[in-house]
Each structure stands twice: as C-alpha cells, then as structure tokens.
Structure 1
Amino acid sequence: MIRRADVLVIGAGGSGAALAARLSDDPGREVLVVEAGPVPRALPEFPADLLDARLVPGARPGDPAVRTFPALLTSGKPYTAVRGRFLGGSTTVNGGYFIRARRADFDRWSAAAADDLWSYDRVLPFLRALETDLDHGAAPLHGDRGPVPVRRTGLRHPAAAAFQAAARELRHPDEPDKNAQDAPGFGPVPSNTVDGRRVNTGIAYLLGAAARRPNLTVVGGCAVRSVTISRGRATGVVAEHGGRRTVLEADEIVLCAGALTSPHLLHLSGIGPAEDLARAGVPVVHDLPAVGAALSDHPQVAVEWVPRRPMPEPSGSWLGGALHLPSSGGAGAGDLEVLQSLVPITGLIAGTTTDPGAPLPFLVSVLTPRRSGGLRTVSADPGVPPRIEYGYLETGADRSRMREAVRAAAAVVAAAAFGEVSRGLVGPAAPALDDDRALDRWIRARLGTAQHTCGTVPMGPAGAVDARGRVHGLEGLRVADTSILPTAPLRGPAATAVLIGELIAYAGSC
C-alpha cells in the first residue's frame, strides 16, 4: 500500500527527480514520487543501451523506454514526438546535451514571471549546486559537489577536429565553455555523461544517498490520470498501479510530467480553457485559458555530408562539437545551432554507433525564442492523446532563420579544413542553397524538431502558474518542469529542466 505523503511528485524525470531529492532533504517531509515507467532500484538494473552515451534511445522507433505523441510540425506535416518513460524521464533517452540557458533567457523569464527569482544572478548558485563540473571544478561559474556530473565532449575524433578547424577558418569565435556566458561560437558540448556512460537524473538524484531516506518513496509503473480537486484545493491524484485504479492523497501535488503530459493532465482534471474542455467532454473545474494555449520548441533539420574515408566510431559520446551563431537580427545570443553527430542518422535510429558508408549529419536548429502552435485535449479518455501542433515555419522570419542555419552548416562542409574529412554535402545541392524558395522546399520536406518543448503551462501573471510553479487560482497544486518556461531557452533545455526542479524545491521550502 502506498502511504499518504506531504508532497506527491508526478514524474521522476529531469525536474521531478531533482525536486523530490531536494525536498526530501528535510527528514520531516514525506515525499512520494510516482513514475509511469519502470524504476530500477540499482544501477545494474538499467538496460545497458540506456546508459551508453554513444546512443540516443529516443531516436529509436518503438523503444520501450519512450512514450510517443502524434503531432503536426506544420499544417499537413505529421510527426511523432517522444518523451522518456523510465526513471530519469527524457534524461534517460536524450543525447546527454547539458548546456545552460543564456543570460538573455533568464532576463526574459524573469520579466515574464514578474519575479527576480528567475534572474541569472539568483539562479547561478543553483546552477553551481546541481553539478560536479569535471573540467572546471569549483569556480565562480561552476560547482564540484552537485549530483549531475558534467564533462565536455572531446574534439579528438577526426570529424570533430575538422569541425573545429573549419569554424576557425570561417572566423567563428572559440567558445570553450558553453556553460559560461561568453560570446557564442564553436566549442565542445557539455554533457551529463562520464566515460561513455549517461548519468540521467534518476541515477544522479534518486539512486544515491536519497535512496536510503525513509521519507522518500519512488514508485514505478504508476500512471496518473488526473488530479482531484475539492473546494479549490488539490487533494490527490487518480492513478493506475498494478492494474488497479487508486487514489493517492497528499497535502501538495507537483506535476513534473513534462511539457506534453503536464498540460494534458491539467486538462483531464478540468483545469484549462473552459470551452475546449467542455467540447472534449471534460467537466470544467477551473477555467485557465493559458494551459496548452501555445508551446515553444526548436525546429530542426539534418544536413548530411559524405566522409572521405571510413570514420572511427565515437569513443565517449555521439556528440562532437557545436557551433552557435546569431541569425540576422538575433542580437548576438547565438540563436542558430549547428550540432555535430558522430553517428549516422541510420545508426541513431537502429541503435548502433556506426553504419559503414552512411553519411554523417549536422543537426541544424533555430533556437530563437518563439511561441506558436499549442496542445489541445480532444477527449476525456486519458488514452486518447492530445492534439499537438508546433506551428513551425509560419512566418517569413521563421523560414529565413532556418535557411540561415542550413547555409551556416553548408559553409562548414564547404570549408577547406573540413574537406580533409568530407567529400561534400548530400544536400541541399548548390542550386537550392542559392534559391530561397527551393531551399524552403528542401527544409520543409526534411523538417523535424529538437524535442525541446516548453511553454505549455507558462508562468507569469497572464499565464497559468506563478514564478514558484503554483497554479493560479488553486491551492496545493504546482507545476515544475519545462512547461512553465514561457519560451524555450536559447539552448537545449535539459540542464534548465534540472534547474527548475532545484529552484521550485527551494521556492516551496522557504
């Protein structure tokens, strides 16, 4: 039997694991974490492929550690979004990219939340406290005692070394520490991997000292279906565990289920835009129009090149280097990303580290903060997925930035230094590169997403929660994951997801 808790945390992913571990630092607080996926009790119980930092389990169709969501990237462009369904959540199945948000992100979020809790100067101590930086150690910008190990990818692989040389040939700045706030440029990727092993947040926060705390309970295979509300207060959740329906009660509920599942759970609980919920057959409990009204993510395409000779398999991580550069009007924040994969796309999909003869990709993304699309619940049945629309490439500025990003990657491949390892691009061909309309067609045909969804339960006075994750108009209910960020950061959000868990734990304890 699962006993009543002071705090019930829904989801043991990037934010939830950190939040639960920090809250349970107080021995007088009973913390219960429920995770829909499996929860290993020790490291040897993890499947080896989920620990191998050279693989990206989330890229493999049908992987048992992920949950899939049907979505539309643009009108008429279907896609399958994936999220982790295992201890550690998406930090178990992602690429291990662990780059902090930029100062401009914290300025924007702080303004939107009307609270300086989110200012860069306020969050920096939490960023330091969550990490053990294995390259820099204890320093003004880095920590050496936190749960998450951070190490930058080596640039010794021939393709990574050629990328660095090409970036210098093209006069992009060196950016050796992408977790500082230096001018954006080329550098290695900070990663929560050590010696080829992915250290997800479940391992980092919940399998260490916290696992021995009598006031912390982590339950796997427990899928939450809705939050129960009585007289304006959250009192518990309805869940399925062991094949049976159960109600779990707690003094406070914190949704850490991710930017796709947390808003869906709120909708299924009758919390969201009243007209949409009524149309879906969900009894309205609390009209909150901002829940699911829009989302923020990063469109992405793969730009592939042909190796001049067989490339060695990566030794520690599938990632090589990363180039960040500003788009036209990008205000210098580096809102275009060219991220190097040392594993072919076919290898990432198949779960192998090599595929002889296959091209290697640059993953090219536009990171400009923007809200579009949205998430709408269409049925009161929890088994029916919500309608997710990304709203990519809707404006001329969207399409222009994507073209700039692809052309930046093509320029790297065309550089003399990169010619040491490359025979040239697979595509786009020269005519398309030089023609905006042709390049737009090439991009649209290959469009994907970086899977960096944020903003579905945005914080701020006009949003759905306050700066501390408390749902407007209800007691005892918080949200603490990337859904509360009004816009996605100017980098991938994995490190920021962990920060959210740390920050909301602090805010909920003071």
Structure 2
Amino acid sequence: MTSSPLPSGHDVVVLGGGVAGCVLAARLSEDPRRSVCLVEAGPDYGPGQQGWPASLLNARALPRDDVWERHTAFYRIRARVLGGSSCVNGAWNTWGSNADHAEWTRAGGERWSAPALEPYRRRAVDRMRLRAAPDEELSAWASAALEAAGELGYPEVDMGAPGAPGRGRPLLNAVDGVRFNAALAYLDAQVRARPNLTVLSGALVDRLVVHGGRVRGVRVILDGRPSTLVADTHVLACGTYGSPAVLLRSGIGPEAHLRLNGIRCEVDLPGVGANLSDQPGVFVPRSPTPELDAALAAGEAAGNLYVSRMLVRAAGEYCPDGAWNLHLLPTAGPPLFGKLAPGRYEAGISAFLMKPVSRGHVRLRSADPCEPPVIEPAFLTDPDGRDAAVLRSGLRKAQQLADALAELAGPSDPVPAHTLSDADLRARVGTYWHPVGTCAMGPADEPGSVTDGQGAVYGVRGLRVADASVLPTVPAANTQLPVLAVAEMLADTLRA
C-alpha cells in the first residue's frame, strides 16, 4: 500500500473511500493479479485506531469535523474521510424487509433478492464485528421504551436480520463507546500491506474522461494540481450525492442540465441525479421528570450515556403485509442541537418514514468540482400526500408509546404532532440521513434507469457505480448494513 507518488495504469480504480469504497478496495485486491487504486478526497488516518482522532472514534456522538460542508442544511451532511459515513453516523446497523428486496429484484435481477444477499449480509456483519446493543448501554428511557413497546404488542425481533415488525436493539459497529468504522474493518494493516493496493487520500475526483462511449481515465485534483489516473475499470463509490455529481461533470446525465453548466454531453442519461430518496422524520419532544434527568445524569457521569439504543419498526398506512414502513426511535440525552442547563436532558420519540414515495434530485451548480452540488430532498412533496399520511400514522404510534412512558416524561407540546397540517409537518421535518437512488438501477428500457443490476452504467463502457446511489428505493432500515452487503455483492460481480 502506498499513498504517493501518483499511481497510474491500474486494473481497477475505486473512486470514493466511503463504506462501499472500503469494501470494494479490500475485496477486489484479494486477487494479487489485480491492481487496485482507492481514491478518497478526505484524510486517511491509517490502519489502526491509534492514528485516529478521538472525535471520530467516539460512538456516543455524531462527529462533524471531517465532512464536506460544515454549518450547512441538516440533510447535506456527508463525510469526507476514509471510511465515509461509518465515521460520523450513529454506528447503527439494521436490515430491511423482504418487500425491499422484491423492489430491488424487479429493478436488478435475482442477485438482489433476500436469499441471494443473505451471505453478503452475514459477511458484512462478521467483518464489521457487529453486535447487539448490550443491557448496560440502555438508558432508563431506552429500557422503559423497550418494555413499553412490548406491552403495546410489538414482539422482540433481531434488527440486523430479515424479519417482521417489532421492537429491538440495533447492531453496533462499536464496543464500549469506541467506533469501529469501515476503514478499520476492511483496510487494516494486513490488507494495506498488499503490493497490489494503493490508497490515495486527499485526492478530489473531478471528472471521468469519456471518449467513444468508454471511460479512458479519471481526472483528480491532488495537492492543488490536476492529474489523470488510468484504469481498465472505473468504479464510482462517491455516495448518493457525490456519484451523480461526478457523472454530471463527466458529461453523463440529462443533456439540458449539462448544457446549462457548459458541459458537453457524452451520454444523455436523464436519470442521473434524479430519484433522490431519503427518510424524513419528526421528533416529538417530552419533558423529563427530575427522576429521569437524574438517571440520565448518572449514566453520563459514568461515561455510559447513549442517546438511543433501541427502536420499533412499525407498519403504517400503505404498508405491505409482513413489512414495516416506520421506525419509532425513543431518544434521551444531551440535545442534538442547542444547549440545556446542566443536569437537564432532551427526551422524546421520533417517527421516521422509512419508505417515502417523494423524490428529490441532485444537480450541479457549475462544472467546478469544488462547488457543492444542489441537493433537493423534497421531503413530503408527493402530490397524493401519501408520505405525510404515513408519517402522521407514525406520529400517532409515537404518541401511544410516549403515553406509556408518561411516568418518566410528560408532554411538552400542547399540540399533538399527528394533528399538524402538512405544511407544519414539513417545517418540523428532519432526516435519518439515509439518501439513496440518484444512479438508480433498472431495466435498460426504463427512462430513469442509470445502471443495471451489476452497477454498469448504461451507454458507458468501463464504468460501474457501486454505492447507495444505485438503490432505486430506500430500504426500511438504516442503510449502512445494506450498503455494506450490496458492496460485497457487487465486488463479486467485478471479480467474476
């Protein structure tokens, strides 16, 4: 492994060192005959935890230093560091329903079915050392919510495996508050010692060089200077926001939009940057009793306070039998935004819409790779109002759970959230930070399709996309574990 000088002439260049990119680089370099270069715009803190900043290893917080944009809209947060979102998220791993896989199978074929992805799920669970949240990490609020959800009829389920609606604990890529991210899991010292693997950090991907319908190389900016990498196969893993932006800058996307930005259209693919889907939610605040505040303060003093360690997956309106389209997430701890007086804490329950039908988009502001893209999540904007209706049903269920926890926290808002107007819901909406879909896979004759079931980009040879952007619909889950499994599977298609 090396990070300099600038390499060239590889078999595979993986663009983006996030969750998917770490998987791809590790798996593809297992063949010593295949040379692999992994390109990451952010820093590489090395193969062992000793080289990592304490903030990125702290699984009790959501680090915001190594990101593309600071002090920006909440839905724009995205990591800029080797390991990607696994370095800055909640370290949660859950799995979706069979209904999710049915959607993906219609778009990409049988390799996307639940049985076909199962071995890759298990492989990711093992590599990331995932384990269920232990009892000692449940706060008084989480423990009470877990019990109350059972009394409301939600059975206990394994959140990291196929199943049904119910209550349970997520699988964690963290032990005793120390985060174990995808870079540490997949790019350890043994993997980095492979002479056929290069990790190139601090290199911003500008655009692909496309001629005659084939990618001939990729332009990157390293130490302020443009350079070109050449490979037989180029794999985009820059994420749901980054991958479409690279394609657009490369002349692959809607012709009219490219023309507006002064970019020559190489392949007219209207679906690039479209179909953006994320999971919106609304937080229902509660007023902790002095007893709950004291219990949370004791947990914080012991260094063992986690904002949340359990959830409920619930079926709201428009939900297929046996599936779920809501997450109810009880949280208690220091406020995510703002401050409270010492000894006081924020408590409440969020309802997240897991299967939205609203679609947003990613577009360019300009052809400059340093210019952040336009990101429009379009939460709760479907014309039939279905998303607002499902979210409202989730808020009713959150209210039921909150009522069952009234001895620990009472109401703090006189207006129940499920009675709010659609406009007021949109004003209060937040996100679960699980965007997908902007390079969606689908049949070649479907106008919005960008990739096939193996991540190959329609109309462009030598190019794959292998990250969350290929998912045509968001799973009813936190997306880290599904993306890990998908990257494991797509790595196998590249190795075949």
Same fold (TM over 0.5): yes
**How much has 1:342 moved relative to structure 2?**
3.6
The aligned counterpart of 2:212 is: 231
The aligned counterpart of 1:142 is: none
What is the DSSP-based 3-state SS (H/G/I as helix, E as strand, rest coil) of the residue aligned with 1:25? coil
1:16-49, Cα deviation, whole Å (9 max, x unpaired) = 1001100000001101001100001232111111
The aligned counterpart of 2:470 is: 484
Size of the aligned set, in residue pairs, is: 473
Cα distance in 1 for residues equivalent to 2:167 and 2:310: 7
1:297-351, Cα deviation, whole Å (9 max, x unpaired) = 11122222222122122627442210111002212411111123343334x678x
Alignment of 1:31 onto 2:36: yes
**How much has 1:168 moved relative to structure 2?**
1.9
1:459-482, Cα deviation, whole Å (9 max, x unpaired) = 112211111111111111110000
1:446-466, Cα deviation, whole Å (9 max, x unpaired) = 211111110000011221111
The aligned counterpart of 1:378 is: 365
**How much has 1:371 moved relative to structure 2?**
4.8
Once the two structures are overlaid, the 10-residue window that deviates more, 361-370 or 101-110, is: 361-370
**How much has 1:432 moved relative to structure 2?**
3.9
**Conserved? CA contact 2:16–2:41, under 8 Å:** yes
What are the residue-to-residue correspondences of 1:207-218 with 2, within 5 Å?
Answer: 207-218=188-199
2:22 pairs, out of 17, 22, 27, with 17
Alignment of 1:340 onto 2:320: no
What is the DSSP-based 3-state SS (H/G/I as helix, E as strand, rest coil) of the residue aligned with 1:131? helix
**How much has 1:181 moved relative to structure 2?**
2.4
2:146 pairs, out of 164, 176, 185, with 164
Q: Which amino acid aligns with 1:93?
A: V
Cα 1:27–1:167 change in 2 (3 A) is same
The aligned counterpart of 2:455 is: 469
Cα 1:355–1:447 change in 2 (3 A) is farther
Cα distance in 2 for residues equivalent to 1:26 and 1:434: 54
Once the two structures are overlaid, the 10-residue window that deviates more, 365-374 or 38-47, is: 365-374
2:185 pairs, out of 191, 204, 215, with 204
The aligned counterpart of 1:65 is: 66
**Conserved? CA contact 1:369–1:490, under 8 Å:** no
Q: Which amino acid aligns with 1:167?
A: A
1:81 pairs, out of 69, 76, 79, with 76
**Conserved? CA contact 2:307–2:334, under 8 Å:** no
**Conserved? CA contact 2:393–2:418, under 8 Å:** no
Cα distance in 1 for residues equivalent to 2:399 and 2:358: 28
Cα distance in 2 for residues equivalent to 1:260 and 1:245: 22
**Conserved? CA contact 1:17–1:501, under 8 Å:** no
What is the DSSP-based 3-state SS (H/G/I as helix, E as strand, rest coil) of the residue aligned with 1:339? strand
The aligned counterpart of 2:90 is: 95
Cα 1:491–1:127 change in 2 (3 A) is same
Cα distance in 2 for residues equivalent to 1:412 and 1:466: 42
1:129 pairs, out of 115, 123, 131, with 123
**Conserved? CA contact 2:440–2:469, under 8 Å:** yes
Cα 1:163–1:99 change in 2 (3 A) is same
Cα distance in 1 for residues equivalent to 2:416 and 2:145: 23
1:335-392, Cα deviation, whole Å (9 max, x unpaired) = 111123343334x678x9x963132233321012425121122322223322221121
Cα distance in 2 for residues equivalent to 1:89 and 1:52: 15
Cα 1:214–1:270 change in 2 (3 A) is same
What is the DSSP-based 3-state SS (H/G/I as helix, E as strand, rest coil) of the residue aligned with 1:340? strand
The aligned counterpart of 1:448 is: 430
Cα 1:169–1:101 change in 2 (3 A) is closer
Once the two structures are overlaid, the 10-residue window that deviates more, 313-322 or 83-92, is: 313-322
Cα distance in 2 for residues equivalent to 1:483 and 1:103: 20
**Conserved? CA contact 1:459–1:465, under 8 Å:** yes
The aligned counterpart of 1:135 is: none
Tell me the TM-score normalised to structure 2 length: 0.91
Alignment of 1:153 onto 2:139: no
1:264-323, Cα deviation, whole Å (9 max, x unpaired) = 000000000111111121111111111112211111222222221221226274422101
Tell me the TM-score normalised to structure 1 length: 0.88
**Conserved? CA contact 2:275–2:361, under 8 Å:** yes
Cα distance in 2 for residues equivalent to 1:341 and 1:371: 26
The aligned counterpart of 2:439 is: 457
**Conserved? CA contact 2:91–2:172, under 8 Å:** yes
The aligned counterpart of 2:110 is: 116
What is the DSSP-based 3-state SS (H/G/I as helix, E as strand, rest coil) of the residue aligned with 2:282? strand
The ranges of structure 1 where at least 4 consecutive aligned residues each deviate by more than 6 angstroms after the TM superposition are none
The aligned counterpart of 2:170 is: 189
What are the residue-to-residue correspondences of 1:175-324 with 2, within 5 Å?
Answer: 175=157, 177-308=158-289, 309=291, 310=293, 311=296, 312-313=299-300, 315=304, 317-324=306-313
**How much has 1:234 moved relative to structure 2?**
0.9
What is the DSSP-based 3-state SS (H/G/I as helix, E as strand, rest coil) of the residue aligned with 1:419? coil
The aligned counterpart of 1:138 is: none
**Conserved? CA contact 2:139–2:306, under 8 Å:** no
1:222-277, Cα deviation, whole Å (9 max, x unpaired) = 11110111222112111111221111111111010100010000000000011111
**Conserved? CA contact 2:358–2:379, under 8 Å:** no
Cα 1:216–1:182 change in 2 (3 A) is same
**Conserved? CA contact 2:95–2:162, under 8 Å:** no
Once the two structures are overlaid, the 10-residue window that deviates more, 206-215 or 216-225, is: 206-215
What is the DSSP-based 3-state SS (H/G/I as helix, E as strand, rest coil) of the residue aligned with 1:15? helix
**Conserved? CA contact 2:396–2:418, under 8 Å:** no
**Conserved? CA contact 1:325–1:335, under 8 Å:** yes
Once the two structures are overlaid, the 10-residue window that deviates more, 274-283 or 361-370, is: 361-370
